[in-house]
Amino acid sequence: MQTRSALVAAGKVYQSAGISQRVKQISISAIKEMPLIASKIGDCVSLGQGIPSFPTPSHIVETVCQVMREDLHSGKYTLGPGMPELREAVARSLSGQLGRAVDPDTEICITVGAMEALLASILTVVERGDEVILPSPNYASHIEQVLLAEGIPVFVPLQVKDWQLSIEAIRRAITPRTKALILCNPHNPTGANFSEAALRELADLAQAHELFVISDETYDFLVYDSQPHFSLTLIPELKERLIATFSFSKKYAMTGWRVGYVYSSAALLDHIMKIHDAAAICAPSLSQHAALAALRGPQDCVSDICAALAARRDLACQRLDRMADFFDYVKPQGAYYLMARYKVPGVDSMEVALRMLREARVVSIPGGAFGPGGENHIRLSFGGTEAEINEAFDRIERWLTSNPFAAGV
């Protein structure tokens, strides 16, 4: 299934003569398109793309400035898998979390954000006609990346009451053509923090059916209310079938630096590296210096970000509670998104998001962009400041009192 393109919905016509089928069938994710449309409208407040408001911590910026001034070679390509000292720092930090050795030379590749890590991983294991299980709703780019690899996304609904995994539904979705499953935990777009029990069952299923598991760990640092967080990387038996992708973007407020990494067995990484080389050569060298400074520096910037986002989550939930006639939602347990289900029957999520954008000047992401399980929802990000969150909800409240869906509610 293909996600709906907001640009198509907004009237953009694609010229497709001569364009490959593989590219014709994908779209720019609505997460990136809605801000593009908003930039043309002007004066919009965003609950859309997941860009945290925080600046990159100053010790990271200062280190990079110093490296630029003092190291004449800092503007050059690094080794393909990344600077050795960065891979060592990554391996040390990961091995501390996993309680087992991680080889910086054969198991780690520094990438252009988690996004490149994900694409290289998916292209490595998915080929034309392979079925790939995705929970639904799910991060929109996973869907486009599977389509780009000419795989077939198989959407397995999350449980709507709490957005947790239904292992039984995943088991039923497995066929002889199933090649892989992709999971992001904590989960974008729902904010779910999947239970250890479910993740262990998922790992058992993957092993029993010889599936690859691509585990998107972009939000591994961000769970609320002192809950435990469990990662598939903690299951050693899964190691030969697991590819884990990590990001510096959200943890260290470095979304624009474009740096992340992939962790997998050496056997898989050898192949992932071929795509990384063909696509990127190496991650930007200055961004690798920034990532190294992030890992070596004080970690209180991470706890500060988590504390601020916990307060913003509570604020977003309080504001939604005031609109209980229009929306319900499951309180996010991790990441910084929530899926607000609108109580307007018969209106698709693209229409709700586009009208909210044009009429209330608030950016949200239509839930349908996250697969069929996202329909009847809009995704709201609470990565912005409290002032932005309040302004956005003020505008939504005013808009709703003008009764935009008069017949429906």
Ligand X SMILES: Cc1ncc(COP(=O)(O)O)c(C=O)c1O
- Residues numbered 267-306 forming contacts with ligand X, rule: CB under 6 A: none
Q: Using the rule CB under 6 A, which residue among 5, 231, 249, 364 binds ligand X?
A: 249
Q: Which is nearer to ligand X, 64 or 214 (CB)?
A: 214
Q: Least distance from C-beta 384 to ligand X, angstroms?
A: 14
Nearest partner of 82 among 99, 61, 107, 57, judged by Cα: 107
Write out the two tokens for 337. 């998104």
Among positions 84-103, residues that touch ligand X (CB under 6 A) are none
Q: How far is the CB of 75 from ligand X (least distance, A)?
A: 22
- Please identify the residue of the shown chain whose CB is closest to the bound ligand X: 113
Name which position in 27, 110, 135, 139 contacts ligand X (CB under 6 A): 139
Of 26 and 344, nearer to ligand X (C-beta) is: 26
Yes or no: say if 145 and 166 are a contact pair by the CB < 8 Å rule. no
DSSP string, 337-376: EEEEEE--TT--HHHHHHHIIIII-EE-EEGGGG-GGGTT
Residue in 7, 30, 114, 222 binding ligand X, rule: CB under 6 A: 114
Place of tokens 């769970």: 223
Least Å distance between CB 68 and ligand X? 22
Which of 104, 300, 145, 159 has its CA nearest to residue 221? Answer: 300
Range 205-244, binding ligand X (CB under 6 A): 216, 218
Virtual torsion, Cα 7, 247, 243, 310, nearest 10 deg: -90
- What type of residue sits at position 238? L
**Nearest distance, CB of residue 219 and ligand X, angstroms:** 7
Using CB under 6 A, which of the segments 111-119, 174-182, 232-240, 392-400 binds ligand X?
111-119
Please say whether the beta carbons of 143 and 32 come within 8 A: no
- Residue 256 C-beta: closest distance to ligand X, Å: 9
3-state secondary structure of 244: strand
Between 37 and 117, name the residue whose CB sits nearer to ligand X.
117
Cα 51 to Cα 28: distance, rounded to the nearest angstrom: 17
Is 3 a binder of ligand X (CB under 6 A)? no
Instruction: Verify binding: residue 247, ligand X, rule CB under 6 A.
Output: yes
> Does 50 help bind ligand X (rule: CB under 6 A)?
yes
d(CA 227, CA 216): 19
List, in order, residues 6 or more apart from 309 with CB less than 8 Å away. Answer: 52, 222, 336, 382, 383
Output 190 or 218, the one with its CB closest to ligand X: 218
Least distance to ligand X, CB of residue 397, Å: 27
Smallest distance from ligand X to CB 215, Å: 11
Nearest to 313, CA basis, from 342, 336, 340: 336
Least distance in angstroms from the C-beta of 258 to ligand X? 7
- Least distance in angstroms from the C-beta of 122 to ligand X: 12
Is position 115 an interface residue for ligand X (rule: CB under 6 A)? yes
Quick one: 218 or 376, whose CB is closer to ligand X? 218
Among 113, 151, 368, 384, binds ligand X (CB under 6 A): 113
396, 79 contact by CB (below 8 A): no
Stretch that binds ligand X, among 1-9, 22-30, 112-120, 274-282 (CB under 6 A): 112-120
Q: 316-346 as b/e, with b when 16 or more CB fall inside 10 Å?
A: beebbeebeebbebbebbbbbbbbbbbebee
Q: How far is the CB of 189 from ligand X (least distance, A)?
A: 8
Q: Residue 133 CB, nearest distance to ligand X (Å)?
A: 16
With binding defined as CB under 6 A, does residue 260 bind ligand X?
yes
| DSSP H helical ranges for 126-166 | 140-148
Q: Between residues 223 and 360, which has the closer beta carbon with respect to ligand X? A: 223
d(CA 78, CA 55): 26
**Would you say 64 or 110 has its CB closer to ligand X?**
110
For position 188 contacting ligand X by CB under 6 A, the verdict is yes
Q: Which amino acid is residue 130, in one-letter code?
A: D
Give how many residues touch ligand X by CB under 6 A.
13
Amino acid at the residue 242? L
Q: Return residues touching ligand X (CB under 6 A).
A: 50, 113-115, 139, 184, 188, 216, 218, 247, 249, 255, 260
